[in-house]
Amino acid sequence: MNSFSAQAVKPQAGGVRNAMTIDVEDYFQVSAFAPHIARDSWPARECRVEANMERILGILDARQVKATFFTLGWIAERYPQVVKRIVAGGHELASHGYGHLRASDQDRAQFMDDISRSKGILEDLGGQPVLGYRAPSFSIGHGNLWALEALREAGYRYSSSIYPVRHDHYGMPDAPRFAFYPNGPDGLLELPITTVRLMKRNLPAGGGGYFRLLPYALSRWMMEHVNQTDGQAAIFYFHPWELDPGQPRQQGLNWKTRFRHYVNLERMESRIQALTRDFQWERMDRLFLEPR
């Protein structure tokens, strides 16, 4: 078991609905590209997030799906119309930090500045409270659990930053699989990305490269298993660049990074459309937060 006490919670009643979440960042901001793309080159890069967001919002609007958008402050400053479009569509606006710095690469003061800055930008542009946060690359784990306390101090109500899997870049496999309060019911609510428990291991079942790699039928079965066997909401995530097979291809990547980023991009849009047909969806705040 993990090194902290956890009080499990279940989503609100009303049938099994799932949380659709989107991490709003562009292709050149992916953590795996950091050694290859200088941060100071970002403003000069071809930015494709606007067009990709329009595609996503169109898919969601067609099925009347409401989602949560974890948005970078960097993106919001440069493309305020993206934020306004999210809010106008009835979706939840949440924070992904300012400039896609991993929480594990910051000390507490730097992290506090990052999460406060992004929250302020998003609230100013969106005109609504920002209650949720997701760390870039799910970078909260045993080594920086203080980040959960910092998020609460900054005014956040929940985080979706812990992925209870084994992975070479992130993961906290001994964390609870479903919504829990790491520091008691008066603290921050943590909402882990969905996993399926098989053969004494947590297997990724909530999106990302795994969703693009695995057959859609298998991903659908895993989420159905969570809904029907575990009786829990699934939390699914993806990125705007995952629907964009025409994005500029980066040079100098190792085979693993190249495969993870580019595999099956051309299939992603149809798979997201299938998800919106096959499951019920809701915003994170409406699904998990009790009114206060």
pLDDT tens-digit series, residues 117-132: 999 999 999 999 999 9
* Strand (E) or helix (H) holding 151: helix 146-153
Q: Which residue has the higher pLDDT, 9 or 154?
A: 154
CA pair distance 55, 209, nearest whole angstrom: 19
CA pair distance 10, 231, nearest whole angstrom: 9
Q: Is the pTM of the predicted complex or chain greater than 0.75?
A: yes
Q: How confident is the model at residue 1 (pLDDT cuts 50, 70, 90)?
A: very low
Q: Which residue has the higher pLDDT, 13 or 278?
A: 278
* Strand (E) or helix (H) holding 70: strand 68-71
Output Rg (C-alpha) for the chain, integer angstroms.
18
Averaged pLDDT, 214-224:
96
pLDDT at 19 over 50: yes
pLDDT at 167 over 70: no
Nearest to 235 by CA among 223, 224, 243: 223
pLDDT tens for 144-166 read: 999 999 999 999 999 999 989 77
pLDDT tens for 281-291 read: 999 999 999 76
Please report the pLDDT score of residue 171 as a whole number. Answer: 59
pLDDT tens for 253-276 read: 998 899 989 999 999 999 999 999
Domains, the chain, ordered by start = 7-288 (3.20.20.370)
Please report the pLDDT score of residue 200 as a whole number. Answer: 84
* Strand (E) or helix (H) holding 61: helix 49-62
For residues 159 and 115, is the Cβ–Cβ distance under 8 A? no
Please report the pLDDT score of residue 26 as a whole number. Answer: 97
pLDDT tens for 30-46 read: 998 988 999 999 999 99
